[in-house]
Structure 1
Amino acid sequence: MVRIARVAVRTTQRQTRRVDLSTFHRVPLGTWPTPLDTCPRLSAALGATVLVKRDDVGGVGLGGSKLRKLEFTLAAALAAGADTIITFGGVQTNHGRLTAAACARLGLRCELVLTRSVPRSGFAYDRSGNVALDRLFGARLHLCDTDEEADYTAGALATATSVTLPVGGSSGLGVLGYVAAAQELTEQLDDRVVDRIVCAAGSGGTAAGLALGTETPITAVSVSPGSARKIDRAARLAAKELDVDPPKLDHVSVDESALGEGYGVPTDEVWSALRLFARTEGIVLDLVYTGKAAAALVSGIRPGETVVFMHTGGVPANFAYAPELVAEAAR
């Protein structure tokens, strides 16, 4: 594990920071609070107490963590008079799917600039999963081969009334969605003490927001290279929005043990984790984010500890991995 950032910050007795988000524009997209599931069969299998925060359920577009970010970023876009949202991601981006769904709800045009960043192709990956839903929600898709081509395409699409969101929605405003989630989780835990929170780390916004909202130790499981840098950057952007000093994240650890061959490439341990969660609790993980976070959880859990596992969604992308999904599900 690689520890990032630097100092401790003052906390409340309940391990949460007091952050006032009431001054920010926010549009309702999710169903909050999302459930915090006690998982007795999963916990028994792992020899520890595992609670699953179900950010995969509730809200538009089949739900998912990105809705928390979009509540802030799209509210700001509407306040600025935008009529079009442009954003980026891989071909099977969850952020793209939920941006498309939220834009449909809010009457905004959605332009998705998608980069072929995963070494996969074929009908299932190129047409099914999130791609099919993107089109169902009315988004326009622009497929690119490189990041440079994606930047050029987004620039060509931009107008005076468009707003461009970064990959994963992890702008300073977007990160505030997971500051709110940390506060929500603290309320749900009440007086229960947890040893750590485990989440997937892609663009860094989820881990950064949680880190700004709680002093509970966080294990951020890398799904792509450079997680420490991305989390630090996202947290600094959020601190600027909040007009506070740059954050110091001594309670965040980055775990790269489940990265495998890279973003979007599931390992045997990921498939095993999917089967474990499904067959003990009926909870479906995704192959890109929560599957890798769960693989790291399973391999690194300590006997008797209490962990909150953040289920950030992404299940529709699983169908892009047929026929592997069919074969692995039957094992």
Structure 2
Amino acid sequence: MSPPQRFPIAVTPTPLQPMDRLGRSLGFDEGALWVKRDDLTGLAGGGNKARKLDYLVGDALALGCDTLLTGGAAQSNHVRMTGAAARRAGLSCVAVLGGTRPAVPEGNLLLDELFGVQLEWVGTYDAERLETTMAEVCVRLAGEGRRPYEVPLGGASDVGTLGYVAAAAELVTQVPMGAIVYTATGSGGTQAGLAVGLGHHDRVRGVDVGAIPDVDERIEALVTATASLAGRPFPGGRVQLDRTQVGAGYGAPTPAADEAIRLAAHLEGLVLDPVYTGKALAALIADRRAGRLAPHQPTVFVHTGGLPSVFTSRVARRLATPAPG
């Protein structure tokens, strides 16, 4: 089976930028800390999902589908970007969301409605329930005469994960030899693709945000399927997954993530979100402070996006309050 043709959505390559001010505050050597700006992929506010949607939308069009079907939490970055990608390709979009419809949409939800995404609500967020409901909705849409293409949570299929095999190829040309890459891990596709593309699990440190209970198993399965689809060797080593930053659960705020968000903003003018990137940077900070990252170790933080969720009342009430001291 050959890889699907891309439908060009993502603006790539994305830049790699130094974070020397943040690096100095953490005790890194000059030039050791970098950020990969995948928040600048150009689709509907940017983010890592654009790379996956390049391949997923290409596959859907090749199969003659007319509807993208996906799901996520109420403030899902993935749903927002899938809705935008559908419109770029002349497709419709249906999304199953965990939560209840708010009286006034904000953040990602406002953009979902602007893109005309057909939203179906299933109550409290639960990944397994969402996946079951998505399968049921897919059958229903087909029964209505539509031709749905089911995009898994986070775009984490072997097809979608090809987007981060390509991202790894970009990184190889941008970063110093032996760089360690940190990324938020929700559904696992970004981490799996980077591991396949970089050739070794030890190069990629995923930071679990609690979106899916068995994400480590899903990463292993995605690595196998994606390497086969891409014609690449399986990466060496074992999946590296940091589970210390989840806090009370998916989407729950943590003091460490809030600190990371403020440090990135104050020292680098970089906007992170509390669900994904804030927790990923918090893990990097904790590793450096504990000595698990050497001062000279070239280190890349992958900024996977998430800007719209910052502009919600829940996040604003917390982050607009100055941190103590």
Range into which the TM-score falls when normalised by the shorter chain: 0.7 to 0.9
Instruction: Confirm or deny: 8 A CA contact 1:114 1:150 kept in the other structure.
Output: no
Q: Say if 2:295 is the partner of 1:309.
A: no
Match of 1:10 in 2: none
Partner in structure 2 of residue 57 of structure 1:
40
- In the alignment, is the contact (CA less than 8 A) between 1:87 and 1:165 conserved in 2? yes
Aligned ranges for residues 286-301 of structure 1 at < 5 Å? 286-301=273-288
User: Contact (CA 8 Å) 1:181, 1:210: kept in 2 or not?
Assistant: yes
Which of 107, 110, 120 is the matching residue for 1:142? 120
Q: Is contact 2:69–2:134 with CA below 8 Å preserved after alignment?
A: no
Percent pairwise identity = 40
For residues 182 and 168 of structure 2, the distance between their equivalents in structure 1, rounded to whole angstroms, comes to: 12
Amino acid at match of 2:266: R
Aligned counterparts, 1:32-51, within 5 A: 32-48=12-28, 49-51=32-34
What's 1:14 paired with? none
Q: Which residue of 2 aligns with 1:172?
A: 158
Determine the C-alpha separation between the residues in 2 that align with 1:181 and 1:135.
Answer: 30
Structure 1 vs Structure 2 CA RMSD: 2.0
The reply to whether residue 82 of structure 1 matches residue 65 of structure 2 is yes
Following the alignment from structure 2 to structure 1, what is the Cα–Cα distance between the partners of residues 177 and 172? 10
Distance 1:168 1:249, change over 3 A: farther
Equivalent position to 1:197, from 181, 189, 197: 181
- The alpha carbon displacement at 1:193 in A equals 2.4
Residue of structure 2 in register with 1:281 after alignment: 268
- The one-letter code sitting in structure 2 at the alignment partner of 1:307 is T
Question: Given the two structures, how large is their TM-score scaled by the length of structure 1?
Answer: 0.85
Counterpart code for 1:109: S
Q: What's the offset of the Cα at 1:261? A: 1.1
Counterpart of 1:253 (choices 215, 236, 240) is 240
Tell me what 1:233 maps to: 221
Q: Match for residue 174 of structure 2?
A: 188
Number of aligned positions between the proteins: 301
Deviations 1:176-228 (A, max 9, x none): 00000000111122xx2244110111110000000000036111110113231
In 2, the alpha carbon distance for the partners of 1:167 and 1:268 equals 27
Distance in 1 (CA, whole Å) between partners of 2:91 and 2:191 is 28
CA separation of 1:41 and 1:251: change in aligned 2, threshold 3 A: farther
Structure 1 residue identity aligned to 2:10: G
Hey, what's the Cα distance between the residues in 1 that align with 2:315 and 2:83?
Answer: 27
Task: Give the direction of change, closer, same or farther, for the CA distance of 1:212–1:80 in structure 2 (3 Å limit).
Answer: same
Deviations 1:276-296 (A, max 9, x none): 000000000111111110111
Please state how far the C-alpha of 1:60 moved relative to its aligned partner. Answer: 1.8
Q: Which moved more, 1:139-148 or 1:84-93?
A: 139-148
Residues 8-53 of structure 1 show CA distances to partners (whole Å, capped at 9, x for unaligned) of xxxxxxxxxxxxx9x6300111111111010110111111221000
Q: Normalization by structure 2: what TM-score?
A: 0.87
Give the secondary structure class of the aligned counterpart of 2:95: strand
Q: Does 1:109 align with 2:92?
A: yes
Q: Secondary structure at the match of 2:39?
A: coil
The Cα offsets for residues 221-272 of structure 1, whole Å up to 9 and x where unpaired, read as: 1011323112112212213423566x34416411111011111112111111
Distance 1:184 1:60 in 2: 19
- Whether the 8 Å CA contact 1:52–1:308 is kept in 2: the answer is yes
The SS at the match of 2:12 is coil
Whether 1:71 and 2:54 are equivalent positions in the alignment is: yes
Q: Which moved more, 1:192-201 or 1:145-154?
A: 145-154
For the residues of structure 2 that align with 1:122 and 1:161, how far apart are their CA atoms? 29
Whole-Å separation in 1 of the counterparts to 2:103 and 2:118: 19
Unaligned segments of structure 1, at least 5 residues = 1-20
Pairwise CA distance, 1:307: 0.6
Partners of 2:315 and 2:120 lie apart in 1 by 27
- Are 2:299 and 1:319 equivalent residues in the alignment? no
Structure 1 CA distance, aligned partners of 2:238 and 2:266? 32
Give the Cα separation in 2 of the matches to 1:254 and 1:157.
37
Corresponding residue number in structure 2 for 1:12? none
Match of 1:3 in 2: none
CA–CA separation in structure 2 for the residues paired with 1:248 and 1:182: 13
CA distance in 2, matches of 1:185, 1:243: 19
